[in-house]
Amino acid sequence: MLASIAFLGTLLAQSGELGTSDTMHRLQTTHSFWTSEPPVFPNEYPEFGLIGRNGHLYSWYGMGQSLLMFPPDVAGTYLEHLSIFDQYAGNDPSIRGVFVSFTTNLLIAVLTALVCFRLLLQFEFALKQAAAGVLTLLFATTHLHYSQNMSENNYIFLLTLAGISFQYEWFRTGRKRLLLIGSLALGLNLLTRLTTALDLLAVAGFLAMLLLLERTRFGDVRRQALIYARTTIPVYAAFLLIDRIYQFYRFGSFFNTYLSVFAIQQKKLDPSLPAAYPFEGRFLDGLLGPLFSPEKSIFLFDPLLILSLVATIFLWKRLSSPVKAFSIAAWSLLFGYICFYAKYTVWSGDFAWGDRYVSTAAQIASLLGVPLLLRYRQQIAGWLRWAGWVVVAFSVVVQLASLCFWLPLEIYQMETIGHPTFVIALRFKNIVAFALGKMDPWGLNNHAMTEDPWDYVHITSWNFLPFLLGRVGAAPAWVVNSLKAFWCGGFLVLGGLLLELRRILRAEP
C-alpha cells in the first residue's frame, strides 16, 4: 500500500521535465555513452563544460545519475521516434525527457518508501508509526520537491538509507551478505558525488556508536570491526577505482577531481578569481546561512527537522540504542555537509529549492520526528504534541507549495525584490497571485523572468505535466484535456489509497 501511495503521489507531482539544467546535462552525458552525440555541445562552452583529454568537452559531474538514467534513456529515445509522435517531435517537454523523468522518479520513490519502512521496522517502531514515518518523508520533506525536480538528491538518499538498513541488519544477524549489499549501495553513492564519502563515514559511525551504547565487549568489537573492514573497504575501493578510471578517461589524471579541473580552467578564463576559488567564501556565512538564512534555511524548507530535534532532545533518555545512534549519526552527517560546503562559492546550491547540498542529510535527520511523536505520545505534554502536529501540517503545505512552480521563479523575482527574501512566503504569494491572475498588479513579474524564453514559459505555468503541455501549446488540446482529467482523477485515487491505509492500520493492534 505504501509503495502504491509513493508511486501515485510521485506520478501526480511530475512535470515531464528533468527539473534542473544539471540533470539535463547529466542526461546528455548518458546519451553520449551509447550514441555518437558528445557529452557537452560546443555551443555550451564556456558557460558549461570542461576541456578534457584530446581537447574534448566533458561535464563536471560524477557518473552515478547518468548511469541510473541509462536504461530509460535508451527506451525513451526509441519511444520518441515512434510514428505516433512525429508531429510532436522537437517540442518541449520531449518524449524522451518525459519518459526518463517519470520512470526514474517513480522507481526511486517506490524503492525509497520500501527501504524507509524497512528501516523504521528494524528500529522496532510499530506498523502505524513506521507507515507515518514513510508518509511524512514522502509528503512533508524536500524529498517531495526532488521527486519532481530530478537532482541527484533522492537517489543519494535511497542509497544511503539502503546502506544503513542492510548494514544494521548485518550488525544484528551477522549475515555477511547483508553487509555486502549495504556496502554496494553506499559504494554506488561514490559514483554520484565523491562527497558521499561523508555518508559512508556516518553509517560506520552509526554502527560504532551502537557498539558503544550497547556496551559491547572489546573482543566482540574487534571481531566485528575486522569483518566490517574486510567487507566494506574492498567494495568502496572498487567503486572509487571506477570513479578514478572515469576521471582519467575525461581529464587524464587519477588523482585530481573535476572540481579542481573546474577551478583551474575557470581561473584561466577569469584571472581575477581568488586563488582559493571555488572555496573562497567566508566559513561563517556558509555555516550560518543553511541554518538561519530566510532564503535557504533548512528549518524553513524542512520544518520536520525542528520536530525531530525537539523530540530527540526531550525523549533522549527513553530512546533505544539504535534510535540514539541513528540520531547522532544523522545530525553529525548534516553538520558535516554544512561545514564541507561552508566556504564553497555557492554554498546554497545556486538555482535550487532550499540548500540542495545539505537537503538529503536534512531529510535523514528529520526521518524519526513523526515516528517518535507517535510512539511517545502519552509521555509528551499535550501542548508539545499539538505543536508537533502543527509543524507536520506546515511541512506538508511547504512541500506542496514547492511543486506549484518551477524552482527559479523566486530567484528571478529576487533580482528586483532584493535580498534577503523569505522565499517560502514569496512562494505562497506567487500561488495566490497566479491563481487570481494578479501577478502583474502585485509586482511579481519582472524583466529578468522574460530574458530566457524557455525559462519564461516554464515559470509562468503550474509545474505539472498537463498544465505545462497546455502552456507550451504544442500538444493537441484533446491530449492536454485528457491528461488534466486523469490528473484530477489521480487525486481521488490517492485519497482512496490513504483512507484504505488508514483502515488497515486501525485494524492493527
Average pLDDT of the residues in 185-207 = 97
What is the rounded distance in angstroms from the CA atom of residue 206 to the CA atom of residue 167?
Answer: 10
pLDDT digits (tens, 9 = 90+) for 135-147: 999 999 999 999 9
CA angle 42, 24, 362 (to 5 degrees): 135
Model confidence over 231-281: pLDDT tens digits? 999 999 999 999 999 999 999 999 999 889 999 999 999 999 999 999 999
How far apart are alpha carbons 253 and 265 in whole angstroms?
15
pLDDT level of residue 463 (50, 70, 90 thresholds): very high
Task: List pLDDT tens digits, range 6-26.
Answer: 999 999 999 999 988 899 999
Q: What is the pLDDT of residues 426-450, one digit of tens each?
A: 999 999 999 999 999 999 999 999 9
Predicted confidence (pLDDT) at residue 505 exceeds the cutoff of 70: yes
CB 50 within 8 A of CB 86: no
Provide mean pLDDT across the span 150-160: 96
Q: Hey, what's the cell of 53?
A: 583529454
Q: CB within 8 A of 44, min separation 6: which ones? A: 57
